[in-house]
Amino acid sequence: MNEIHQRVAEDIPVLTVCDREGDFYEFFSNAADLGENFLIRLVQNRMVDDGKKIFHELHQSPVAGSMVVRMGRNPKEHIPARNVKMDYHYKEVVVHCPKRRTEKHIREKLVLTAIYVHESGKKGTEWFLLTTVRVKNEKDIEKLIQCYAHRWKIERFHFILKSGCK
């Protein structure tokens, strides 16, 4: 993230989108220090300010809206590309630095927006996302969800470059 911050002009907005490999607090803190925005899929069920776990908090929050997300095909499971109706919930949360991290340069806590996205009315695709983007309304949430959904296209492009083009 430091390299991107140094190379991109200040007037160009940057949103770093990561899958579960980006779910580590040091990354969150570094982004906040640089004033950069991120959107990350959570793997860890983090503790939030009220002493509860973030996944539980999002499950208990009311559905804020629904939208259709275009899902790419999944060749491993033989699932074709399709449009999926997704419900979403969101909530501002305070995430604390893990107790195991004692470095002075890491922020003690961060105010972030947590988003829970899942297929409407059935078990299926679900994402727990965390972002630094300040959300004003449901349109902001829907833009973030679409950004995350586009991440798959970029991953596929990189796969083709690495494996097909060597």
pLDDT by residue (tens digit) across 44-58? Answer: 999 888 788 999 999
Distance CA 76, CA 96 (A): 37
Q: Model confidence over 84-122: pLDDT tens digits?
A: 999 999 999 999 888 777 777 888 899 999 999 999 987
Question: What are the tokens at 119?
Answer: 């297929």
Exposed / middle / buried, residue 18 (Cβ in 10 Å: 0-12, 13-18, 19+)? middle
The per-residue pLDDT for 166 is 64
pTM comes to 0.86
| Pick from 48, 53, 128, 34: nearest CA to 92 | 48
